[in-house]
Amino acid sequence: MLQLSERTMGDWLEHWAEVTPDKEYIVYSDRNLRFNWKQFNERVDQMAKGLLAIGVEKGTHVGIWARNVPDWLTILFACAKIGAVTITVNTNYKQTELEYLCEHSDMHTLCIVDGEKDSNFVDMTYKMLPELRLFERGHMKSKRFPYMRNVIYIGPEKYRGMYNTAEVLLLGHNVDEEKLIQAKKQVSCHDTVNIQYTSGTTGFPKGVMLSHYNIVNNGFLTGEHMKFTPDDKLCVCVPLFHCFGIVLGVINCLTHCSTLVMVERFDPLVVLASIHKERCTVLYGVPTMFIAELNHPMFNMFDMSSLRTGIMAGSVCPVELMKEVEEKMYMRVTSVYGLTEASPSMTQSSPDDDQEVRYNTVGHAFEFTEVKVLDPETGEECPVGVQGEMCNRGYNNMKGYYKNPEATAEIIDAKGFLHSGDLGIKDENGNFRITGRIKDMIIRGGENIYPCEIEKFLYTMPGIKDVQVIGVPSPKYGESVGAFIILHEGCTMNELDVREFCLGKIARYKIPKYIFFVKEFPMTGSGKIQKFKLKELSVKLCAERGIEII
């Protein structure tokens, strides 16, 4: 019988290190780097002692600004064991965003890698903290960042004012084992273990405080729904700075003694090769990742037959894409619905559900939670089949937004329900269907139009690889329907083709008036499409092309 656990992340790690010490927990297939439970636990303990040596203790905020490098997880678990709080930093952040997060989160220690894409994290850190070059390591003082004391470079390189990981591990040898034991004893499952700053698809990011109890149980139940066992190997190519990676991936495997096959940064070729080489049984990703894998020119060279299931989440999951994944990758795709504030999952479909449920719904509510569709105006529960706002109450609701009780009160009501901002419908079988976002809804001349509905329809048009529908500001109608389309390679199409495809199949007022063919969408680091940027881009493109918006 399922029940909620009060084990912390550290408790689970030590449990498996004792019970199955030689079984593999973490694998980087592209470099043949492998940690069994015992090896990883020992490295985590050494890192924990090193962090204690540089002043990290219970309640200290430690930022990780890195792609999925091996010691990302070492630092995460080390912090969890001694009661420190990991602050996950989006690798797409630029200077202003980095400084906002470090200042707002009261960060004490920042762990960085060299950089990502066009950003040099070392240079950006020095720009933020010029004091690094002036003070002895561990004793830095900054007027703007009064809590900041340390910067750790994750790697062997040495930079002035920064520790590197080898030095932190070495410092751990000077810390008495008893100090680590005492630190572990102070940790409760209800302590905050992680603050995740929401992706910022709208407005400034807010720090979501999540406890061991939140994420350990959410990860455990995710694995139960997918029938995880110690024989499973999960390929994780989604970023660890987001709940998808940490909770649905890392914690899922942690609670089921399964193996994590890690991909440092998303590359469809590395993903395919890792599945092939390690005989992975489970694969995660957002729709754009699965599209990239299926369309890779070397796809047919790899054996995907070991896959049995996986999760496609993060944005609207096109039915045709799910069908193609099941056909060519041999896996029964499940959908998880939720948000960071729900740790992150509220509902999930099961590999055992029939195709209709898996393709068109996000499944049932998680155990030990109440998921209700509430009327946004009255707060009353909507009848079956009637659209309202998806809301959640249960163990998985966040502890709140860091230093922002006003925003917390806005999203969690007096009855304890977390309001998602998403629109959904519950069917007669208890499955939920997401129909759009309240803020994404297009209101055209009084008509409510849900982008999700039009996107699902346009995905059925041959040649369309991906599509996003937004409201283009209109002086006449308030908003008009706009569609951004990515075509399959080698396909050609124009605006008229799209409109003709729609005629007679969807209502005229839903047919996109403004159509833009693009190569990519603006994305957050966690793979969510930033629709507000598409809205801004639609106005800009119309102006550049001399198209009058009416």
- Residues ≥6 apart with Cβ < 8 Å to 34: 24, 26, 27, 28
Mean pLDDT on 268-284: 98
Long-range contacts of 200-206 (CB under 8 A, 24+ apart): 200/97, 200/524, 201/524, 201/528, 201/529, 201/530, 201/531, 201/532, 202/439, 202/532, 204/100, 205/97, 205/100, 205/101, 206/401, 206/402, 206/404, 206/407
Which range is least confidently modeled, 268-272, 402-406, 523-527? 523-527
**What does the block give as tokens for 178?**
């008893």
Annotation: CATH topology of 10-22+35-187: Rossmann fold (3.40.50)
Neighbours of 386 (CB within 10 A): 11
**What does the block give as tokens for 289?**
């990742």
Residue 159 identity (one-letter amino acid): Y
C-alpha to C-alpha distance for 78 and 43, rounded to whole angstroms: 9
The pLDDT value recorded for residue 529 is: 85
**What share of the chain has pLDDT > 90, as a percent?**
83
| Per-residue pLDDT at 200 exceeds 50 | no
| Per-residue pLDDT at 90 exceeds 60 | yes
C-alpha to C-alpha distance for 84 and 194, rounded to whole angstroms: 9
C-alpha to C-alpha distance for 90 and 242, rounded to whole angstroms: 8
Which range is least confidently modeled, 23-32, 140-149, 341-350, 470-479? 470-479
| Per-residue pLDDT at 338 exceeds 50 | yes
Mean pLDDT on 466-474: 92
Contact assessment for residue 109 and residue 286, using Cβ atoms and an 8 Å cutoff = no
**What share of the chain has pLDDT > 70, as a percent?**
98
442-544 is classed CATH 1.20.120.430? no
- Residues ≥6 apart with Cβ < 8 Å to 404: 206, 207
> Mind listing the pLDDT tens digit for each residue in 412-467?
999 999 999 989 999 999 999 998 778 787 878 667 787 888 898 899 999 999 99
| Per-residue pLDDT at 28 exceeds 80 | yes
The pLDDT value recorded for residue 316 is: 67
First-to-last C-alpha distance (Å) of the chain: 59
The pLDDT value recorded for residue 202 is: 44
| Per-residue pLDDT at 6 exceeds 70 | yes
Where are the chain's structural domains? 10-22+35-187, 207-437, 442-544
Whether 207-437 shares its CATH topology with 442-544 is answered no
According to DSSP, residue 155 is labeled S
Contact assessment for residue 443 and residue 460, using Cβ atoms and an 8 Å cutoff = no
Contact assessment for residue 253 and residue 247, using Cβ atoms and an 8 Å cutoff = no
The pLDDT value recorded for residue 315 is: 66
Candidates 1.20.1530.20, 3.20.20.60, 3.30.1490.20, 3.40.50.12780; correct CATH number of 207-437? 3.40.50.12780
Mean pLDDT of all residues belonging to the chain: 94
Among 77-81, 432-436, 472-476, top mean pLDDT goes to 77-81
> Mind listing the pLDDT tens digit for each residue in 357-396?
999 999 999 999 999 999 998 999 999 999 999 999 999 9
Backbone phi and psi for residue 462, each to the nearest 5 degrees, phi listed first = -55, 135
Contact assessment for residue 338 and residue 349, using Cβ atoms and an 8 Å cutoff = no
